[in-house]
Structure 1
Amino acid sequence: MDYACRALLAVVFAVAVAGKARSRTAFGAFSAGLADFSWIPASTRNGVALVTLLTETFTAVLLIATARFGALLALALLAVFTIATVRAGRAGSCQCFGVADAAAGSTVGAFLARNALLAVTALAVVLLPDGPVSAVIGLASVAVGAGAGAVVTRWDDLVYLLRR
């Protein structure tokens, strides 16, 4: 289970980084989208965007290298993102998963549900014992986790489809 949870989280954070860093335009849109959070001064948005990008990258790497530290950093990021969203009263345009805006019909509730799922997954990595597993079980776990991570990155699209 540890490998599946780590893979899920690593995929989500890696795709979030790729969505923001895929081009100057995407990074600029992410930085500009921080205007949704009015307490972030305009003069610091590029810096906040860069720190966010680097921290998400570091989180994905740590999830592979040292699972518990990576999971703790993931929990911290998820808490910050969740608090910021609740404080703003709506999900911002984060560019996380390669789209300009969340799919039509996405809500703060859907955002919070996704973050709760990710937080529980990170808690599982922190709290559950890890132990040796066979190569086959390990690879299968990573594949399942990566697949689940791919589904999570399309969360807004799924919410949109299920609401129709």
Structure 2
Amino acid sequence: MTMLQLAARALLVVVFGAALVSKARSRAALAAFAADLADFRWLPAVLRRPTAVGVIAAELATVALLATVRQAGAVLTLVLLTGFTVATLRAGRAADCRCFGAAKPAARGSAAGFVLRNSLLAAAALTVALAPGGGVAPVLAAVALVAGAGVGAVIVRWDDLAYLFQGPATPRRS
């Protein structure tokens, strides 16, 4: 494993782990996530809760596979990112999901920002899939894991960080 591959795996595990925990941390969180799926008008109401549970299961599988079978984890990551991106943009929402615990992000992201974030995550998944294997010294492996996890934590808190630097959105005057 290269350091870059280790860092990318750690980044994706943190991001998908945070998304998983934010939706599955309680019955109320799961119910809120399922209710938010009403934004996807093509999804019948009867399928919202099973879809929510399926998303959580897929995120759990992604984390497990990224930690154990890197290529399979990378492929599942790419499939999920593509599906999430297409479905969210079709619903007309830029970054308004419960991916990281907030019902409404503090600084609502733009569609371009949402696509950019998911594209960067997809690039990390491609790195996991395509980077060559090989040994890494334990100290370097630890550095790569900490760096990847740190970048993952920044991605998870991106909306909060944007809020700190941009401040709250101001209503437009007509």
TM-score using structure 1 length: 0.94
User: What is the deviation of 1:107?
Assistant: 2.1
User: What is the deviation of 1:131?
Assistant: 1.3
Tell me, in whole angstroms, the C-alpha distance in 1 between the residues paired with 2:49 and 2:73.
24
Tell me, in whole angstroms, the C-alpha distance in 2 between the residues paired with 1:131 and 1:103.
42
Over 3 Å counting, the alpha-carbon distance change for 1:106 and 1:115 in structure 2 is same
- Tell me, yes or no, if the aligned pair for 2:107 and 2:162 is still in contact at 8 Å: no
Larger deviation, residues 137-146 vs 86-95: 86-95
| SS of residue paired to 2:105 | coil
User: What is the deviation of 1:93?
Assistant: 4.2
| Alignment gaps of 5+ in structure 2 | 168-174
**Superposed, which structure 2 residues align to 1:64-103 within 5 Å?**
64-91=67-94, 93-103=96-106
Tell me, in whole angstroms, the C-alpha distance in 1 between the residues paired with 2:80 and 2:146.
24
| Alignment gaps of 5+ in structure 1 | none
Runs of 4+ in structure 1 deviating by more than 6 angstroms, as ranges, are: none
Counterpart code for 1:40: L
Tell me, in whole angstroms, the C-alpha distance in 2 between the residues paired with 1:48 and 1:3.
31
**Superposed, which structure 2 residues align to 1:1-20 within 5 Å?**
1-20=4-23
Q: How many residues align?
A: 164
Over 3 Å counting, the alpha-carbon distance change for 1:92 and 1:35 in structure 2 is farther
Cα deviations by residue, 1:23-74 (Å, 9 ceiling, x for unpaired):
1111111001111111111110000000000000000010000111101100
- Tell me, yes or no, if the aligned pair for 1:7 and 1:146 is still in contact at 8 Å: yes
Percent identical among aligned pairs is 49
User: What is the deviation of 1:146?
Assistant: 0.7
- Tell me, yes or no, if the aligned pair for 1:30 and 1:93 is still in contact at 8 Å: no
Matched, 1:134 2:137: yes
TM-score using structure 2 length: 0.89
Q: Give the CA RMSD over aligned residues.
A: 1.3
Choose 1 or 2 for highest CA Rg.
2
Over 3 Å counting, the alpha-carbon distance change for 1:57 and 1:70 in structure 2 is same
